[in-house]
Structure 1
Amino acid sequence: MAWDVRPVTPDRFEDFADVVNPNRRSDACWCLSHRLRAQEIEELGAGSREQAMRRLCERENPPGVVAYLDGTPVGWCSIGPRSDNPRLVHSRVIRPVDDVSVWSIVCVVVRGGHRRQGVTAPLIEGAVEYARSRGAPAVEAYPVEPQGRMDTTMAFVGTRSMFEKAGFEVMGTTDALASQMPRIVMRRSIA
């Protein structure tokens, strides 16, 4: 098995779409919820979300990475400077723990048919390496702490154990909930 994790540049957009929206539904999230303000997403309407994400992929720092297993796109991780995520910048429930200019992981998706096959470890490691290559001093994630069985409709937020395995440490708690489960702030220093 050969793993490769790459930024989602315009030439890799279709691979990203194969992971997060294989049926190309126009009303799908397209992983914009943290990258654009709610009003901007509403103004886009369902039909323009894909194009908005395509434009984000043209930026100097594309909005995340795609993981490939033997050339097949199998995972997506939304990662970028916290300051590029208006929903985090203005959040009253996931506040910064200090003044470090962290990069934030806000979404992790494993393509259907590839779950429970070890995709998240190389995906998160690749996301951290991408952030390091762009000068990030640290990477944060905001996973849930499941109490009992994880609600799979919210699995994209990740779990504490998933990030602990990737070398992240708990920095604090948040006031945010995902499916009634508390979120925490975890960080991995990389500078």
Structure 2
Amino acid sequence: MHAAVTDETETTGQLRILPANDAPFADVAAVFGTKGDPAHCWCQWFKIPGSDWRSIGDDGLRDRLEAQLATSDTGPGLLAYDGDTPVGWCAVEPRPNLVRLARSRIVTGGTAHPDFADPDIWAVTCFVVPRAYRKRGVGRALAEAAVTCARGHGARVIEGYAVDASRREKHVAAELFHGTVSMFEAAGFAEVARPSADRVIMERRLRG
């Protein structure tokens, strides 16, 4: 199953995946919901210095994502649909946009690309799939689509920061928002480092 994400909507199996900036923001908001971590983060964690995080609030974080979708043509995410129903989100964009990655011990302890200002390195940092649509391959399809999105924008490498669920005795879905090793492997990523027993730096080289 291969996904293509360009300026047009593409189909992946029973799913359609398109750049989220081509979708109504109401559909993005429907995926993030009103409860749980997604509704309190709006994929802004890696974009905001810690000193500023607590002062912004949920509404401010939501507004930031809406503004980013309205003004950027390189991410910050993809939206999956089952028919007309939005069923998943994947955050993917150039790594320099994600200021906290350079301060993450998981990332800095394993990346093969320590220049965090390099715009040719992209990152997949988050998946959001509402409970009703899990275990249907939505995350895997989004990971594949993220590769095609990054390649279409000229990225040289795309990274993911996966969770190895097999190394955790117990886990809940909320802890897997980074994506799992199996999801990334299905999208052609390979392990390049393991900064901790259950966290894996995954990489796919797109050119060069």
TM-score past 0.5 threshold: yes
**Aligned pair partner of 1:159 in 158, 172, 180:** 180
In the other structure, the counterpart of 1:60 is: 73
Which protein is richer in helix relative to its size?
A: 2
| Alpha-carbon distance in 1 for matches of 2:27, 2:198 | 32
Question: Letter of the aligned partner of 1:153 in structure 2?
Answer: A
> Structure 1's 5 and 53: CA in aligned 2 closer, same or farther, altered over 3 A?
same
Deviation at 1:186, TM superposition (A): 0.4
| Alpha-carbon distance in 2 for matches of 1:137, 1:54 | 27
Question: Letter of the aligned partner of 1:189 in structure 2?
Answer: R
In the other structure, the counterpart of 1:91 is: 104
Q: How many residue pairs align between the two structures?
A: 186
Superposed, 1:119-158 pairs within 5 Å as 119-146=138-165, 147=167, 148-158=169-179
Over the matched positions of the two proteins, sequence identity in percent amounts to 31
Is the contact between residue 32 and residue 39 of structure 2 (CA under 8 Å) also seen in structure 1?
no
Is the contact between residue 78 and residue 92 of structure 2 (CA under 8 Å) also seen in structure 1?
yes
In the other structure, the counterpart of 2:6 is: none
| Alpha-carbon distance in 2 for matches of 1:132, 1:26 | 27
Deviation at 1:172, TM superposition (A): 0.7
Superposed, 1:99-114 pairs within 5 Å as 101-114=120-133
**Aligned pair partner of 1:168 in 182, 186, 189:** 189
Deviations 1:148-177 (A, max 9, x none): 4433230212221221122110011225xx
Is the contact between residue 35 and residue 85 of structure 1 (CA under 8 Å) also seen in structure 2?
yes
Q: How does the TM-score come out when normalised to structure 1?
A: 0.85
- 2:163 is paired with a residue of what secondary structure? coil
Q: How does the TM-score come out when normalised to structure 2?
A: 0.79
- Structure 1 unaligned blocks of 5 or more: 176-180
Superposed, 1:15-34 pairs within 5 Å as 15-22=27-34, 28-34=40-46
Deviation at 1:22, TM superposition (A): 4.7
